[in-house]
Amino acid sequence: MLIRNATLADGRTRDVRVRGQTIDAVGEDLDPADEDTVDAADRLLLPGAIDAHVHFRQPGYGHKETWASGSRSAAAGGVTTVVDQPNTEPPTVDGTAFDQKVELAGESLVDFGINGGVTDDWEPAELLERPLFALGEVFLADSTGDMGIDADLFEDALVAAAQRDVTVTVHAEDASLFNRAARDRDDADAWSAFRTARAEAAAVERACEVATEHDARIHIAHTSTPEGIDTASDAGMTTEVTPHHLLLSRSDLDELGTHGRMNPPLRSEKRRRAVYDRVVDGTVDMIATDHAPHTREEKDASIWDAPSGVPGVETMLPLLLAEARTGDLTYERVRDLVAANPADVFDLPDKGRIEAGNDADLVLVDTDDVREITGEGLHSNCGWTPFEGFEGVFPKWTMVRGTVVYDSAEDTFWDQQGENVRA
C-alpha cells in the first residue's frame, strides 16, 4: 500500500509505503509501483498510539470489558498497542496467571503487553521469567483488586526487578496521609477530599528515593499532581498523566457524580492547570488512560461504595487532537506523548515513529472532522464516558502491522489476519 501526500505531525507532507507488516519507505513522490494507493491529501498521518496503562478486565470481570471489546475500543481511538495491568481475577502475580492472560489476549485486535503484579502471594521467580512488559502497576495503596502492598515488599520488588532490568510501574499514594475526616461526607467531592494530593506527592517522593537507592527504574502511573510530576522528573524517573487528570477537575464532580470517582482522584482546577502545563512543556513523558471500565449500574452507588475507575482508551487520542486544534498542545507533542515517548520509555524500538523499518502501526485522521463524544458512540462494554459532550477528532482508519483493523466509514473491524470482526 502507498499512502500518498499525508501530512505528518511535524507538518511535512510525505508518501509512506507499507509492505507486509512494516513501513518500507517514507519520502516525497514515491513511485506507486502498481500497488494499492490511498490519497491522504489534507489528512494527518500519525504513528499508532501506545496506551501503557489499561485494565481490560479479563480474566474475572468480562462483564465490564473483554480483550475483544477493549481492543475494538482501542482501535477505534487510534491506539495500536495496549499494556494491561495485573489486578484481574486471578491477579497476574505468577506464571500460571500470566499464561492464562496471554491466552485471553489472543482475542485482541491490537498489539499488547502484559504487566506482572506484586502481592504477598506473588511468585517472582516464575513471573519474572515471563516476557513481562513491566512490573506493576505496583499499588502503594489499595485500589480496585485490593493489591496494595507495604514498604518492605515494595523494596523487595524493586530489587528483583532491577536484577532483571525490568521497569516497575508504580501507583503512588500513601494511605497514611488520607484525610479520614472526609469519610463523614457523602457528596461526590468527598473522594477527592479523602485521597489527598499530599498523599500522592509523598508516595512519589519515597518511591523515587527507594528506586534510586537500588538503581531501579520506576515509572509513576497516572500522576495527578504537579508536585508528584516534578519530584519524579527531578529524580530522573518517568511519568504518565491520564486524559481525565489533564482535562477534568473537582469542579466537574457535581455533574459527574460517582462516575468521576477514580484513583488517584480528580484534583483542584489549579492543580489540573499546573499538570496541563507540565504536559505541554515536556516535563511529563506520556499520556496513558488508566482505562478502567465499570458498568453504569456499578457506578450508580454511594461515593464510598462505587468502584474507582473510568474508561478512556478510545477517547485519549481524539481528545488530544481536539486540544491541538485549539489549545496549547501541538500535533508533534501529541505524537510524542502517545507514541514516540512510550516507545522510548518501554524500549519498543519498532513502534512509535513513522520510519522505514518500523511496524506499520498507523492512524489517519481528518483534523477538521470534529465530533461530539458520547458514550453510546464508543465501543467499550461499559457504554459511558466521563467526557460526554467533549469534542474529539477520531481516526478515519487504524492500521496495525500493515493491516487496517478499523475503518470508520462503516464502523468496521478486522483482526490482524484481515478477517472481518463483528463489533
The residues assigned a catalytic role are: 290
- d(Cα 386, Cα 110) in Å, to the nearest integer? 24
Burial of 25 (0-12, 13-18, 19+ CB in 10 A): middle
- d(Cα 383, Cα 298) in Å, to the nearest integer? 12
- d(Cα 107, Cα 288) in Å, to the nearest integer? 22
The H-assigned helical ranges of 285-381 are 296-299, 316-326, 331-335, 341-345
Name the phi and psi angles at 286, rounded to 5: -155, 165
At 43, which amino acid appears?
Answer: R
13 strand-pairing partners: 7
At 278, which amino acid appears?
Answer: R
- d(Cα 192, Cα 266) in Å, to the nearest integer? 6
Say if CB 206 and CB 173 are below 8 A apart.
no
- d(Cα 99, Cα 110) in Å, to the nearest integer? 18
